[in-house]
Amino acid sequence: MALLYVCVRPQQGAAAAEYESFRTAARVSEAELDRHDLVRAPMPRLDDYDAVFVGGSPFNVTDPESTKTDAQRRLEADLARLAVAAADGEGPAVLFTCYGIGIATRALGGEVSRAFPEDTGPTAVAVTPEGREDAVFGGLASRFFALTAHKEGSREVPPGAVLLATNDGCPVQAYRVGDRLYATQFHPEPTTAAFTERMAVYRDDGYFESRDYDTVAGRVLAASVTEPMRILREFARRFTAVR
């Protein structure tokens, strides 16, 4: 098995749906995309994997340590080690998304804060000049819409990283470290319909006012978010035998 999806969502229904979103967006079969639930079990040995997708989570790296569960602290440590290894060119290539970008940023010496939240829904993202030269991001439109819902972010990339995509609200939308670590603040995997289903799971978690669900969902469903999925397809193509 060459490609692994790592789940960091406690809600198993949402995790199963996210797996399907990654699999469909990357255009791989179930036989080509393994899965591991990091909330419930430590990181396995990754010797047999060429590349790893790290999914999103309602966790935040900026949560006070006193409020973090044992599972959250353990999985953050596991993912931090994975980020450092990938940045050093060791082990599988890794694409961190959503919550994962915060873990990678901290592990690599960057700063994450609550100063750069983004509302739930589509947001405009611009590819940087460096992104236009990147092997994974280079084929994207120079400006596209992506789906986001987060409470934290970063002003600058961690030391040694190359900024690939940005916007005004949350300046670090995507970056690369070396040639084996990628990270996105936005969600590259869901369709708009899948995203609204995820919204229903987290409607009381403070990402938006629960009473505004229909309005926010309508804005999501009206958006075109085809470009982010191309990131997953190119990442899978570049780093695995999947075609």
> pLDDT tens, 184-241?
999 999 999 999 999 999 999 999 999 999 999 999 999 999 999 999 999 999 998 6
Q: Can you give the CATH number for the domain in which 77 is found? A: 3.40.50.880
The set of residues, in sequence order, having a beta carbon less than 8 Å from that of 24 and lying 6+ positions away, is 191
Q: Which domain holds residue 219?
A: 3-239
Q: Compute the distance between CA of residue 108 and CA of residue 188 in angstroms, rounded to an integer.
A: 22
Structural domain count of the chain: 1
Instruction: Tell me if 194 sits within 8 A of 154, measured CB to CB.
Output: no
**pLDDT value for 243:** 42
**pLDDT value for 151:** 95
**pLDDT value for 241:** 63
**pLDDT value for 232:** 97
**pLDDT value for 164:** 98
Percent of the chain with pLDDT strictly greater than 70: 98
Residues of the chain with pLDDT under 70: 1, 241-243
